[in-house]
Chains A and B, each alone.
Chain A
Amino acid sequence: MPIRAIASLLLTTFVFAGIAQAADPAPPLYPKPKVPLAFNRLYDYPELVDALRQLVQAHPDLLTLSSVGKSFEGRDMWCVTINNPKTGSDRSKPAMYVDGNIHGNEVQAAEACLYMIWYLTENYGRLEKVTQIVDERAFYVVPTVNPDGRAHWFNKPNTTHSSRSGKTPHDDDRDGLLDEDDYDDLNGDGQVTEMRKKDPNGQYKISPEDPRVLVPIKPGEKGEYTLLGAEGIDNDGDGLVNEDTPGGYDMNRNWPADWQPQHLQGGAGDFPLSWPETRATATFIRDHPNIAGVQAFHNAAGMILRGPGHPSRQAAYPAGDDRIAEEIGRNGAKMIPFYRNFVIHKDLYSVHGGFIGWTYEHLGIFSFTNELWNAEQLLGTPQPQGNEPSNLARSIGGDRQADQLFANDKLFLGSIYKEWKPFKHPLYGDIEIGGFVKESQRVPPTFMIEELCHRNAAFVIYHADQMPRLEFGEIKRVPLGGDVSSLTVQVKNTRSIPSVAQQAAMNRIGLPDVLSLEGDGLTVVGGGSLVNEYTGEVALVERDPAHLKLNGGVPGHGELRMRWFVRGKGKANLKMSSQKGGTITKEVAID
């Protein structure tokens, strides 16, 4: 249907809009999406891949799809590269790496990634800021780095926390058998909920607040129930229930910086990067030294986390870098209500071998993990005050069960909770089964997914905007008599993140930035940084003054001034190349 026909159709229904269009066809206030993706739902793995393909097909000029590697079960870890090739290759630009769902059950991470791709492409050419960011930066987005865990969460009955691991078989109970005692959906309702048994000697009683909730008895009180854990039987007849579930490790403990073996850090794996998923991800990031920002999406509890994961690593976080990261996180917490700006080991827990610890400590990349969704958002209950150590328990069930059940009854119309029902258990006899379903607690309600996606995508775009952005500032040439002149060049970084992190300079990570001057008929006879612009003191380099190596790069919202002494006349080609700040050039006439 031609555009004019649509306009006349609109005229018949929307009179005011119709008049405006007839006079001067303005873009619609709410444009029809080029790719109509819904963000009030979650996508299982095939649906997710399909959505990515739709986006790439609709925007072949901006998006490419590639596989970072294959999971243990053979699923591709798809990566969407957002880049405008007309403004240069992705590798020539500072890039933002975004991934999610390393914990298979932390599913909405993939939708946050999907949304960000969708939003940037929908608004490219429409919003000036989006257009600028897409033109100047590249994005590598891997919505799920644990597709097996994701598939298992969607396709199999699970608890509100299970399917966190990848699916490489693992002998959790060290009996020589692999993954032989998983949870069981005993009552066939598609969920793994809780088991409880009436027991006059039990340690729990019915809560006065809500009869569905059990609370621990106080000394002297009479018990009514015993809690028997998640739904399941003793599949392997070893006397234990659900003790060897599929996988059984933690891919976010498998990274080389401050990696600790299994007995010191649960879930760590045999050695760093031991699983196909972590190894492939690390190889991809290593092969893209232009990555200057990292964002990992997890759930839950509403946190914007940065390293270090463990107090022993604090020395690896120089203050200059941390000040900048803290500010980015602080603004993020303003952009995303109910999220707090945290340092992992100080405000959450101590952990070794985490992903963003590695990307910052070993690769010098400013990195964040967002824990998506805080159940406090559901009823708008007050946020935890001050520096309360962890709101994880509060926000995902815990002592807020009564509130959660209120929400279940009134907001979800009973859909996120299975009422207790009797069941005959082969080991425990007469029990009751019931509790929250897997798509509650850690996972937002469908009607709040889009808000979650937008706020967090906006935070990533803001972080991407803070990656170094270099430009030439003042350039001054002074003739010194004969064919000798001095050339003073200012290089500015107009964003908050330095082109070389202090961490990277300290540990000689990656290549130093290089500022060079070349030109026919020109000889650079000396040069270096201008230490004092009033006295004119220049710290001369020992050799090759035409290519000045800048180990510390250009500071955030800062500048460098370099001075060359040049003989001859002609065109001077200035070039500033930075692995994480991109490459800029300028031509200056020396005449």
Chain B
Amino acid sequence: MKASLSVIVAVALSLVGVTWVGAQAPKDQPKEASKAATKPQSLFPAGYADHETISSRLRGLAAGQPQTLQVQSLAKTREGRDVWLATFGHGTTPKPAVLVVGNLEADHLVGSQVAIGLIERLAKADGKDAAVTKLLDEHTVYVVPRLNPDGAERLLKGSPKTAIRTNLTAVDRDRDGRENEDGPNDIDNDGFALTMRVKDSKATLVADAKDARILRKAETAKGERAVYSEMTEGIDDDQDGSINEDPAGGVNLNRNWPHGWTEYNPETGFSPASEPEVNALIRFAFAHPEINAVWTFSLNDNLRSEAKNVAPTDAPYFAELTRVFNNATGAKEETAKKAETPKAEVPKAEPAKTETPPAGRGPVGKGQGRGPGGGRGGAGGAAVQPAASAAPAPTSDGTTDGAMNEWAYQQFGVIGLGSRLWSTPEGATGEGEARWLDWNDKIMNGQAFVPFHTVDHPTLGKVEVGGWKPGVRLNPPSESIAAITDGCYVFLKDLTGKLPALKIKETKVTSKGGGVFEIVATIENTGYLPTALAQGLTTRRTPPVLVKLGAGKATLLGGRALNRIDTLAGSGGSREFRWLVLAPEDVKTVTLEASSARTGAVRTELPLR
């Protein structure tokens, strides 16, 4: 097993060598950066697919390979769009599967680009590339390229273009009885609702001395006087004294999952799995126990660096996947961490921990709670809603609370991975905001960041409008996507090949005379991952491997007809079973079967005589 593993890694490495040259070479940054700067780069959303494009590409792919690729609608969104699910595999019986989900957050469109790219690569290789063909003989790959088509469409085609992370479920954020009635506006008619800087009494910020495009907190203790407050570009559409306090949408589909779900926050939904997109997908997952791993493309990235809150016996598997992913994509680990080679240790169930809702309230809940309460005579006064200076900033950038990949591990009990796919602008220098601005200036020819300019605001007087265009810091120039997808494709194949696989390793039938036979059989997991992770045992979500002896007319003298293996360690973990049967003369064989809903079934006939 070790040998074949290293082969996979070697293949992965060689592929990286071929596909990543020029696009992203982590080892020789400055040189590559200067190269990249000379190439024209398209700014998001140029080259990104809208819903119709995705739909027709999927339909085309499915029509080309009706035997191996099925495309079905998982759910209808609020605006009536289909959430597509692509199923890849040979044959009709479910086999150990990976589920890939992209574009949970509306503004993370790179996820759907990469997901579609993965489907296209699989479609192209299937039947031609022997390794891929074998992979699809033995496994199923489910891909939901775009879980949030409504939000994506709003970002791509909305007018004005503005940042959106949620779906379009109607939400009354300001509790005035109306929904979505005061979103951002395009005051300067450039097609975007960007950022507004206002010199007002609520100012807390000053322009940074090094680059006036960067605002920072005024150091009032040093006598520095605050100049600006910052908010989304817009007006008070509903004339309630607040600007942009109730924008269109919705619920963040990567915060609507039952693990670590935040209550009292309109962005997380009425309940876990309240949204049609999430509800359909969670039902799909529970109806498909063959899913052994879930990989989301989302802002909650737990693949590049060490996964948190993972049971000790599961951690080495996550570490190994991190290592493989970083090798495949050229990504750098965010925390210094040596990938350990996991031992084939039998997973142990951990003591279960109660779900604790995150302590913090939602973005609009803060400090606006108590009204008159129980006081008589109106003590406390008629508390009006404080003027919200801007739409609540997305609090969900990378949070684990209510995220799908966290749910997949913590509650569904399988490998749960999340990839952001792009987080650092290539070819730029500096740290943080300064690096992004350097990227804007040098690589993107200043197209990503609109310089702040003075505009007359209908109620606020002179304001400055400018800032980052929506989505440009989450979604790379479309030229980079092929290379990112290539890396993910290598990883997807590797991950799929790592799923557990059952084998009846050895069987031995010994006649004891008088029609009595002893049967000994060893069941082995030839895959890399265990048949159940420690978390799968804790949650009791992973179905046990059932080992059945079908003795027919023979009498079972010893051993059980049905045996359960809670988990078989990966890389050759095995378990031996022993039976004694009394078989009449006409019984020639017994049957042996090992199966679980997660790994599929293997069976054999054992001749007695």
Name A's B-contacting residues (CB within 8 A).
174-176, 237-239, 256-264, 270-274, 282, 286, 312, 320, 352, 361-362, 498, 500, 502, 505-512, 515, 527-533, 539, 541-544, 548-553, 555-556, 558-562
C-alpha gap A500/B378 in the complex (Å): 14
B577 CB-CB contact with A under 8 Å: no
Q: Is the CB of A562 within 8 A of B378?
A: yes
Q: Is the CB of B356 within 8 A of A272?
A: no
- In the assembled complex, the CB of A71 is this many whole angstroms from the nearest CB of chain B, namely 17
Given A264-B352, A508-B364, A561-B377, A272-B384 contact (CB < 8 Å)? no
Q: Is the CB of B538 within 8 A of A263?
A: yes
C-alpha gap A320/B175 in the complex (Å): 23
Q: Is the CB of A562 within 8 A of B355?
A: no
Residue of A174, A258, A507, A561 with most partner-chain B CB within 10 A: A174
Q: Is the CB of A515 within 8 A of B258?
A: no
Residue of B271, B357, B382 with most partner-chain A CB within 10 A: B382
CB neighbours of B282 from chain A (8 A): 270-271
23 contacts between A and B (CB under 8 A): A176-B543, A237-B561, A261-B259, A263-B538, A264-B355, A270-B282, A271-B282, A272-B271, A320-B373, A507-B263, A508-B365, A509-B264, A511-B176, A512-B175, A512-B383, A515-B382, A542-B387, A549-B385, A552-B372, A552-B383, A553-B371, A562-B378, A562-B382
Q: Is the CB of B539 within 8 A of A531?
A: no
- Residue of B357, B369, B372, B376 near A550 (CB, 8 A) is B372
- In the assembled complex, the CB of B245 is this many whole angstroms from the nearest CB of chain A, namely 13
- Within B520-577, the residues touching A (CB, 8 Å) are 538-541, 543-544, 546, 560-562, 564
Binary A-proximity of B58-73 (CB < 8 A = 1, otherwise 0): 0000000000000000
Q: Is the CB of B378 within 8 A of A529?
A: yes
Residue of B240, B370, B538 with most partner-chain A CB within 10 A: B370
B430 CB-CB contact with A under 8 Å: no
B354 CB-CB contact with A under 8 Å: yes
Which residue of A is nearest B543, CB measured? Answer: A174
CB neighbours of A551 from chain B (8 A): 369-372, 383
Q: Is the CB of B365 within 8 A of A507?
A: yes
- In the assembled complex, the CB of A175 is this many whole angstroms from the nearest CB of chain B, namely 6
Given A261-B539, A555-B373, A271-B384 contact (CB < 8 Å)? no
CB neighbours of A542 from chain B (8 A): 241, 384, 386-387
Q: Is the CB of B258 within 8 A of A259?
A: yes
- Number of A-B pairs, beta carbon distance below 8 Å: 179
CB neighbours of A532 from chain B (8 A): 377
CB neighbours of A528 from chain B (8 A): 381-382
Given A508-B364, A549-B385, A559-B378, 14 other A-B residues pairs in contact with their CB atoms under 8 A? A174-B540, A259-B355, A264-B353, A264-B355, A361-B263, A362-B263, A508-B264, A528-B381, A529-B380, A542-B241, A550-B371, A551-B371, A552-B380, A559-B376
C-alpha gap A271/B369 in the complex (Å): 29
Q: Is the CB of B387 within 8 A of A176?
A: no
Q: Is the CB of B370 within 8 A of A506?
A: yes
Closest 5 CB pairs of A and B: A551-B371, A552-B371, A539-B381, A256-B271, A529-B378
CB neighbours of B383 from chain A (8 A): 512, 549-552
- In the assembled complex, the CB of A200 is this many whole angstroms from the nearest CB of chain B, namely 27
- In the assembled complex, the CB of A473 is this many whole angstroms from the nearest CB of chain B, namely 12
Which residue of B is nearest A506, CB measured? Answer: B369
Given A176-B543, A259-B272, A273-B271, A507-B369 contact (CB < 8 Å)? yes
- Residue of A271, A320, A361, A544 near B272 (CB, 8 A) is A271
CB neighbours of A509 from chain B (8 A): 264
Name B's A-contacting residues (CB within 8 A).
172, 175-177, 240-241, 258-259, 263-264, 270-274, 282-283, 286, 352-357, 361, 364-365, 368-387, 411, 538-541, 543-544, 546, 560-562, 564, 595-597
Q: Is the CB of A533 within 8 A of B384?
A: no
Q: Is the CB of B387 within 8 A of A531?
A: no
Q: Is the CB of A555 within 8 A of B376?
A: yes
Q: Is the CB of A507 within 8 A of B264?
A: yes
CB neighbours of A527 from chain B (8 A): 382
C-alpha gap A552/B370 in the complex (Å): 7
- In the assembled complex, the CB of A208 is this many whole angstroms from the nearest CB of chain B, namely 41
Q: Is the CB of A531 within 8 A of B378?
A: yes
- In the assembled complex, the CB of A588 is this many whole angstroms from the nearest CB of chain B, namely 18
- Residue of A500, A533, A543 near B377 (CB, 8 A) is A533
C-alpha gap A175/B259 in the complex (Å): 26
CB neighbours of A237 from chain B (8 A): 561
CB neighbours of A271 from chain B (8 A): 258, 272-273, 282
C-alpha gap A549/B259 in the complex (Å): 35
Q: Is the CB of A502 within 8 A of B373?
A: yes
C-alpha gap A310/B172 in the complex (Å): 30
Which residue of B is nearest A512, CB measured? Answer: B175
CB neighbours of B372 from chain A (8 A): 529, 550-553, 555, 560
- In the assembled complex, the CB of A345 is this many whole angstroms from the nearest CB of chain B, namely 13
Given A239-B562, A552-B372, A559-B377, A270-B286 contact (CB < 8 Å)? yes
- In the assembled complex, the CB of A527 is this many whole angstroms from the nearest CB of chain B, namely 8
Given A286-B270, A544-B241, A261-B355 contact (CB < 8 Å)? yes
CB neighbours of B364 from chain A (8 A): 508
C-alpha gap A511/B564 in the complex (Å): 54
CB neighbours of A320 from chain B (8 A): 373-374
Residue of B274, B372, B386, B546 with most partner-chain A CB within 10 A: B372
C-alpha gap A527/B258 in the complex (Å): 44
- Residue of B176, B263, B384 near A543 (CB, 8 A) is B384
Residue of A510, A552, A556 with most partner-chain B CB within 10 A: A552
Q: Is the CB of B371 within 8 A of A512?
A: yes
CB neighbours of A272 from chain B (8 A): 258, 271-273
- Residue of A257, A274, A505, A539 near B373 (CB, 8 A) is A505
- Residue of B263, B384, B546 near A544 (CB, 8 A) is B384
- Residue of B263, B271, B378, B411 near A530 (CB, 8 A) is B378
- In the assembled complex, the CB of B259 is this many whole angstroms from the nearest CB of chain A, namely 8
- In the assembled complex, the CB of B360 is this many whole angstroms from the nearest CB of chain A, namely 12
C-alpha gap A140/B67 in the complex (Å): 52
- In the assembled complex, the CB of A284 is this many whole angstroms from the nearest CB of chain B, namely 13
Given A261-B539, A506-B370, A553-B371, A256-B272 contact (CB < 8 Å)? yes
Given A261-B539, A508-B368, A256-B375 contact (CB < 8 Å)? no
- Residue of A261, A500, A506 near B258 (CB, 8 A) is A261
Which residue of B is nearest A558, CB measured? Answer: B376
- In the assembled complex, the CB of A547 is this many whole angstroms from the nearest CB of chain B, namely 9
- Residue of A274, A498, A507, A549 near B374 (CB, 8 A) is A498
Q: Is the CB of A529 within 8 A of B546?
A: no
C-alpha gap A259/B384 in the complex (Å): 33
Given A512-B175, A539-B382, A239-B373 contact (CB < 8 Å)? no
Q: Is the CB of B273 within 8 A of A273?
A: yes
Q: Is the CB of B381 within 8 A of A282?
A: no
CB neighbours of A548 from chain B (8 A): 382, 384
- Residue of B355, B382, B544 near A549 (CB, 8 A) is B382
- In the assembled complex, the CB of B183 is this many whole angstroms from the nearest CB of chain A, namely 20
Which residue of B is nearest A541, CB measured? Answer: B384
CB neighbours of B561 from chain A (8 A): 237-239
- Residue of A174, A260, A506 near B354 (CB, 8 A) is A260
CB neighbours of B384 from chain A (8 A): 541-544, 548-549
C-alpha gap A282/B543 in the complex (Å): 30
Q: Is the CB of A541 within 8 A of B382?
A: yes
- In the assembled complex, the CB of B171 is this many whole angstroms from the nearest CB of chain A, namely 12
C-alpha gap A278/B270 in the complex (Å): 14
- In the assembled complex, the CB of A494 is this many whole angstroms from the nearest CB of chain B, namely 14
- In the assembled complex, the CB of A16 is this many whole angstroms from the nearest CB of chain B, namely 54
CB neighbours of A559 from chain B (8 A): 376-378
CB neighbours of B385 from chain A (8 A): 549
Q: Is the CB of B375 within 8 A of A555?
A: yes
C-alpha gap A199/B402 in the complex (Å): 54
Which residue of B is nearest A507, CB measured? Answer: B264
Residue of A262, A263, A500, A515 with most partner-chain B CB within 10 A: A263
Given A264-B354, A541-B384, A551-B383, A174-B544 contact (CB < 8 Å)? yes
